[in-house]
Amino acid sequence: MLKNSALNYGTVARTLHWLTAALFLVAYIAVYYRQWFTVPKTSQNWTALQLHLSVGISIAVLVVLRIIWNRMNIQPHPEPGTRLAQLGAKAGHLALYVILIAMPVTGYLGTGVATDWFFLFEVPKFSDTWLFEALVQGGLGMSFEEFEVPVDFIHKQGGATIVWILILGHAGAALYHHYVLQDRTLVKMTTGRE
């Protein structure tokens, strides 16, 4: 079934979820490969950066589609649990949506190079857009160098700490539900088996 049911996430929601999860992994591998294993100004260094940017922008597109799709769907019923646990799960999902939006946005706003999207076409860098001139130069009266400091801080510090802690917590919770509580939380997002 393409759409969600009371029991399961549908094929579209599942595909968007797992594709995004895989792209997160690639975004992390690309950026840390660049930082730890490549020499600045080499083609490997540039390719790894462009892969990070391309994947990050793709995540932004997918999250927009996902929010639209969510609004057209019901959410599967939560598994039995205390009110607090259900509230915790809701808050966790909301926090994941916040990072799904904040990471690509801060990444894009704070990057001083254009994205060569999977080496297929170019996405102009933010400082080359009319929005930058209108909002940052005109509105805030800041240069790109001044503007990128706080934005990069959020992207890099957030990416290096909060984001992966949240994701590991989320994946850990899913596995806890599956193996310890033995409920359908993970099944709803995978096989849908009853």
Q: What are phi and psi of 183, to 5 degrees?
A: -105, -170
Query: What minimum distance in Å lies between the beta carbon of 142 and ligand HEM?
Result: 18
Q: Which residues, in sequence order, are CB contacts of 144 under 8 Å at separation 6+?
A: 112, 127, 132, 136
Q: What are phi and psi of 75, to 5 degrees?
A: -95, 140
**What is the dihedral sign for C-alpha 14, 19, 25, 28?**
negative
| Long-range contacts formed by 143-148: CB under 8 A, 24+ apart | 144/112, 147/109, 147/110, 148/109, 148/110, 148/112
* CB closer to ligand HEM, 51 vs 141: 51
Query: What minimum distance in Å lies between the beta carbon of 120 and ligand HEM?
Result: 15
Query: What minimum distance in Å lies between the beta carbon of 133 and ligand HEM?
Result: 19
Residues across the chain? 194
- Binding residues for ligand HEM (CB under 6 A): 13, 17, 20-21, 24, 27-28, 31, 34-35, 52-53, 56-57, 59, 70, 89, 93, 96-97, 99-100, 103-104, 107-108, 111, 115, 155-156, 159-160, 163, 167, 170-171, 174, 185-186, 188-189
* CB closer to ligand HEM, 21 vs 140: 21
Could you tell me the two tokens for 84?
């607090």
* CB closer to ligand HEM, 137 vs 192: 192
Query: What minimum distance in Å lies between the beta carbon of 31 and ligand HEM?
Result: 4
Query: What minimum distance in Å lies between the beta carbon of 126 and ligand HEM?
Result: 8
